Amino acid sequence: MTVHGDSRASAFRRTWRKVAASTAVLGTGLFLASCAKDSPQDTWKPKGDAARKIDNLQRPVFLVAGIVGVLVCIAVAYAIARFRDKGQPIPKQSHGKPALEIVLTIIPFIILATIGAFTARTIVQLADTKGCEMTVNVTGQQWWWEYDYPVTEGNQKYGITKPIVTSGELVIPAGTCVLLRETSRDVIHSYWIPALNGKKDAVPGRVHENKLEADKPGYFAGQCTEFCGLSHANMRQWAIALSEADFAKWVENQQKTATVYAETDESPEAVGYRAFRQNCSRCHQVNGMQNADGTPTIAAPENNIVAGSAPNLTHLMTRSRFAGETFPLLNEECTDRLTKAASDQLGAVYLEGVTSSCLNRAQLEAWLRNAPEEKPMYVKPDAKGLLRGMPNLGLSEAQIDSIVTYLQTLK
């Protein structure tokens, strides 16, 4: 090779090294940057008993798997380096050594049997639901979760004397084991709050138990994890653990019914009340709402929706998100305040609810203007005239305005 060629080759090598080095630095930097940011659904950050049991099991398993992987890579790399064809004679045509073979079969067997024993123990522990005082019925449907707190002996201890029906956000007392009884009204969904426990499918026609317990008050993200059709990606849930005192306040508020406005009342709230009753109460229940003749307004979602259910909106403004937890009901600033609240502050912030200064009004209005534009849903009626999701109701801007005004009273 000529001198010129040599220098060109080494220049190339230098450039290459520079590129490689800067790529490595950049890559590492980006890697660290991306790790620094906590992901709310991180599966390795348990904040409750069940999730911690899982975490204690999975960490050593991942470690062992990693070590085995590295060993295999080293063995292959060694074989590549050591036994490349350097003109050595054709090796002896050996078909293997049975003794070595058996030893190398027994080693993985022992490793796996050990992992198996610990796995078995954890499976049994996680299935044990004794000592779960509270019960919440969790029902999935396209594409939101309903929570129903029945009046049971255990629940009464927490002040639940009237059934509470809410949606999207599961509110639980911290430090208490809560038994979820999951089912579905249409297709299969799966309930998952990674910080508190693994997934459990909600299957129509079956009730599956799953327990959640949060160590401390907190705001825990989750998501439906069984593919459930068009808007599966938008079927979210959060679990909010409150201190016992805060939880008692929440329970007390949830059991109240909504304000009734006189038919003659012309205040903006009362106009919105009637607009809601006319346009929304076919599907959405507001406890306490009355018809013009004074009879209670009972929503009939079963006549309109395939799943036969729509979120109960009696206390809409106590939730931080809406529409299957797809959209924030709080504006950006107030969302930040809630999600970044310290554990001991969380209850106070959450119980404030959606104040008028915090309301994400634009998003709520957009939803009322044309819901299927915001979140994909099947709103073409099927053969029986039923929908899956909220249709475009064709509301006027004035109606939207007054309905939003009314919704703000649902605290």
Partner 1 sequence: MAIIEQPRTDVALPAGAGAPAYVTPKQAAGMFARPVAPKGWRDWVFTVDHKKIGIMYGVVAFVFFLIGGIEAGLIRLQLAAPNGKVLSADQYNQMFTMHATTMVFLFVMPMAAAFANYFVPLQIGARDVAFPRMNAFSLWTFVAGAIFVNLSWFLGGGADGGWFMYAPNSTKMFSPGHGVDFWAFGLQITGIASLVGAINLIVTCINMRAPGMSLFKMPIFTWMVMVVQFLLVFAMPVITVALFLLSFSRGFGGAFFDVKQGADPLLWQHLFWIFGHPEVYILVLPSFGIVSEVLPVFSRKPLFGYKFVAISGAAIGFVGWGVWAHHMFASGLGPISVLVFSMATMMIAVPTGVKIINWTLTMWGGKLKFTTAMLFAIGLIIEFTIGGLSGVTHAVAPSDTQQTDTYYIVAHFHYVLFGGAIFGLFSGFYYWWPKVFGRLLNEAWGKANFWLMVIGMNLTFGPMHIIGLQGQPRRMYQYDESNVHTRFWNAISTIGVFFLTIGILCFIVNVVITHRSKNPKVKAPLDPWDARSLEWMTSSPPAAHNFDAIPTVHELDEFFHRKYAVDHDTDEIKQIATAEDIMAEQMAHAEKDIHLPSPSYWPLVVSIALPIIGFGVIYSHIFIAVGAAVAIMGIFGWSMEPSVAPKDDFEPPAPTDGNIKELTA
Instruction: Choose between 160 and 221: whose C-beta lies nearer to partner 1.
Output: 221
What is the CB neighbour count within 10 angstroms for residue 214? Answer: 27
In the list 119, 297, 343, 370, the residue contacting partner 1 (rule: CB under 8 A) is: 119
Binding segment for partner 1 among 7-15, 124-132, 158-166, 272-280 (CB under 8 A)?
Answer: 124-132
Q: What are phi and psi of 377, to 5 degrees?
A: -145, 160
Q: 314 or 320, CB closer to partner 1?
A: 320
Among 47, 48, 49, 126, binds partner 1 (CB under 8 A): 126
CB of 41 to partner 1, least distance (A): 2
Cα separation, 182 vs 203, in Å, equals 8
List 34, 264, 295, 356, residue binding partner 1 (CB under 8 A): 34
Q: How far apart are CA 411 and CA 407, in angstroms?
A: 8
Give the nearest distance from C-beta 24 to partner 1 in angstroms.
Answer: 15
Nearest distance from C-beta of residue 362 to partner 1, angstroms:
17
Query: DSSP H helical segments within 37-48, as ranges?
Result: none
Contacts of 242 (CB under 8 A, 6+ apart): 171, 172, 173, 174, 217, 250, 346, 347, 350, 351
Backbone angles phi, psi at 169, to 5 degrees: -105, 120
370 binds partner 1 (CB under 8 A): no
Residue 199 CB, nearest distance to partner 1 (Å)?
4
Tell me the DSSP string of 297-363: P---GGGTBTTS-----TTGGGSSEETTTTEESB-HHHHHHHHT--HHHHHHHHHH---TTTB-HHH
Footprint of partner 1 on 289-348 (CB under 8 A): 306, 328
- The nearest distance, CB 227 to partner 1, in angstroms, is 4
Give the Cβ contact number of residue 59 at 10 Å.
11
Query: Would you count residue 115 as binding partner 1 (CB under 8 A)?
Result: yes
Residues 44-103 that bind partner 1 (CB under 8 A): 44, 51, 53-54, 57-58, 61-62, 65-66, 68-69, 72-73, 75-76, 79-80, 83-85, 88-96, 98, 100-101
**Which of residues 222 and 347 has its CB atom nearest to partner 1 in the complex?**
222
Q: Quick check: 287 binds partner 1 (CB under 8 A)?
A: no
Residues 227-246 that bind partner 1 (CB under 8 A): 227-234, 236
Work out the angle at residue 381's Cα, subtended by the Cα atoms of residues 377 and 382, and round it to the nearest 5 degrees.
105
Query: Coil, helix or strand for 238?
Result: strand
Q: Kindly identify the residues of this chain, within the stretch 171-230, that bind partner 1 according to CB under 8 A.
A: 182, 186-188, 190, 192, 194, 197-201, 203-206, 208, 221-230
Site for partner 1 contains 157 (CB under 8 A)? no
Tell how far CA 174 is from the center of its chain.
18
User: Total binding residues for partner 1 by CB under 8 A?
Assistant: 96
Joined together, the tokens standing for residue 197 give: 């426990």
Minimum distance from residue 253 beta carbon to partner 1 (Å) = 25
